[in-house]
A and B are shown apart, each in its own frame.
Chain A
Amino acid sequence: MRVELDEPKCVASGQCVLAAPEVFDQRDEDGVAILLDESPAAGLLDGVREAAAICPAAAIRLVER
């Protein structure tokens, strides 16, 4: 599973960091999300799916491969 982050869409809500702190962080200056791990381990995927689902900007996409 690969994670894609559409950075210009991000609204800096930080909901992804709450759902999957191992995979997402936020920039200090503007809060825009940072993708820490674009191929997260299986054990992290539930959190990543949660992050993609609750992202208020629909800026996170999971791509199966």
Chain B
Amino acid sequence: MRRILIIGASAAGLAAAETLRREGFDGTLTLVGDEPDAPYDRPPLSKQILSGEWSPRRLPLRASADLDALGLDLRLGVAATGLDLAEPAVRLADGSAVPYDGLIVATGVRPRRLPGQGAHVLRTLNDALALRDRLGPGRRLAVVGAGFLGAEVAAVARGLGCEVTLLEPAPVPLAHTLGEQVGRMLSQVHLDHGVDLRTGVTVTEANGGRVRLADGELVEADEVLVAIGSLPNTEWLEGSGLTVADGLVCDAYSAAAPGVYAAGDVARWHNPLFGTSMRIEHRTNAAEQGMAAARNLLHPEARKPFAPVPYFWSDQYDMKIQAYGHLRGHDGIAVVEGDLNKRRFLAAYRTGDRLSGVLMAGLPPKVIRPWRQAIAAGAKWHEVVGGGTPSAGAVPAPT
């Protein structure tokens, strides 16, 4: 294999490139990204960049000398527009075609939007700077969507002295993913910090200065952020013959076709540890899957299934939430350490008869490690959550 092409120059693409070089690949390594900036980190966009605590100079994922040392054919500011598996080559927006022997797709996601003009979204550095420049004491911000991104922005905006309205269609924010108990606790944190949280409201239109609700009510604000989830960037793969279904569909090795792998937010792969297909939009998974895809592409004779325990964190006000596993679609939850109402707790999640995830806030990091190990080992629920008498408050998950 002499030519490897990576489409997508963010965390997953960069991790793949570094892994290929570290594992001895010395051929042509082309890294293509549609943003003009060198690979940078996204989680701080809704945290330290939005708050103004960090300058954008802190965002690059690697020092320029470290990036140069990879010897990349680095093409920034140009998007991929098509894939020809027979050639094989990828067409770029500048009209060129890049032939390859091995391909890694890491094109990520983009924000879902609503009808209307002038509302913010938050995915790129430019998005974050545009929103940051409009926030400050007394400014009114309406956030559409109380998922992790919307919640983090609401928290930062309150810290900056903004009046924040948080609009969420579900009765309890994040209940679908984290369970109703945890979702209610997080709602209370927002209320305690003075956020005007409105649940059960559907927004039909988002404009620069106002949003329209399904019942016709208009909510006025100085700025509006739409944070209602993401769409995988797979349009450029249409007609290629690869299977796209809410992400580029891959097998347990992160392979979409022979010699074609995917990694990061765009990849929907079969995680054998949980026995299910998943697509994970978390920072840690981007790096881990980029590394796994690179190794499997480079060493086809020694391929390994990609079977991680997903990890994510979220910073909201002074609370750090950390979670391992696959919480979405859980069947039950139990608080197994601490006290949810004191916001110092560890909650365990059950899917079928398995321990499928844990979520922790306000406790020392060592508390969560054995739980992560139990998830990685495929532990049964009754083995770790005390046979039928789980501690405080084991209740069925909301349906």
**Does the CB pair A31–B43 fall under 8 Å?**
no
**Does the CB pair B320–A56 fall under 8 Å?**
no
Residues of B within 8 A of A61 (CB): 63, 66
Nearest-neighbor residue (CB-CB) of A11 within chain B:
B313
A53 to chain B, nearest CB (A): 6
CA distance A54 to B286 in the complex (A): 9
CB-contacts of B364-399 with A (<8 A): 364-366, 368-369, 372
CA distance A54 to B19 in the complex (A): 11
A44 sits at the interface (CB 8 A): no
Residues of B within 8 A of A17 (CB): 365, 369
Residues of A within 8 A of B372 (CB): 18
Residues of B within 8 A of A53 (CB): 15, 18-19, 287, 291
**Does the CB pair B19–A31 fall under 8 Å?**
no
Residues of A within 8 A of B18 (CB): 53
Q: Beta-carbon contacts of B48-84 to A below 8 Å, as 1s and 0s?
A: 0000000000100111001000000000000000000
B317 sits at the interface (CB 8 A): no
Q: Beta-carbon contacts of B19-47 to A below 8 Å, as 1s and 0s?
A: 10010000000000000000001010000
Nearest-neighbor residue (CB-CB) of A52 within chain B:
B18
**Does the CB pair A13–B322 fall under 8 Å?**
yes
CB-contacts of A1-57 with B (<8 A): 9, 11-15, 17-18, 26, 28-31, 49, 53-57
In the complex, number of A-B residue pairs with CB atoms less than 8 Å apart: 57
Nearest-neighbor residue (CB-CB) of A6 within chain B:
B58
Q: Please report whether the interface of chain B is mostly helix, strand, loop or mixed according to DSSP.
A: helix
Residues of A within 8 A of B322 (CB): 12-13, 31
CA distance A61 to B60 in the complex (A): 13
**Does the CB pair A56–B364 fall under 8 Å?**
no
CA distance A11 to B66 in the complex (A): 22
CA distance A30 to B320 in the complex (A): 9
**Does the CB pair A28–B365 fall under 8 Å?**
yes
Residues of B within 8 A of A55 (CB): 287
Residues of B within 8 A of A31 (CB): 320, 322, 364-365
| Cross-chain contact of B283 among A28, A29, A56 (Cβ < 8 A) | A56
Q: Please report whether the interface of chain A is mostly helix, strand, loop or mixed according to DSSP.
A: loop
B236 sits at the interface (CB 8 A): no
Residues of B within 8 A of A29 (CB): 364
Nearest-neighbor residue (CB-CB) of A14 within chain B:
B365
**Does the CB pair A28–B284 fall under 8 Å?**
no
**Does the CB pair B364–A57 fall under 8 Å?**
no
Residues of B within 8 A of A18 (CB): 369, 372
**Does the CB pair B62–A12 fall under 8 Å?**
no
CA distance A11 to B312 in the complex (A): 11
A3 to chain B, nearest CB (A): 14
| Cross-chain contact of B61 among A11, A14, A54, A58 (Cβ < 8 A) | A58
CA distance A57 to B42 in the complex (A): 9
B311 sits at the interface (CB 8 A): yes
Could you list 23 examples of A-B contacts with CB < 8 Å?
Answer: A9-B58, A11-B315, A12-B322, A13-B311, A14-B368, A15-B284, A15-B311, A17-B369, A26-B365, A29-B364, A31-B322, A31-B364, A31-B365, A53-B19, A53-B287, A54-B288, A55-B287, A56-B284, A56-B311, A56-B313, A58-B41, A61-B63, A61-B66
List chain B positions with a Cβ less than 8 A from chain A. 15, 18-19, 22, 41, 43, 58, 61-63, 66, 283-284, 287-288, 291, 311, 313, 315, 320, 322, 364-366, 368-369, 372
Given pairs A12-B320, A56-B284, 12 additional interface contacts (CB within 8 A):
A9-B58, A14-B365, A15-B284, A26-B365, A26-B366, A28-B364, A28-B366, A31-B322, A53-B287, A54-B284, A56-B311, A61-B66
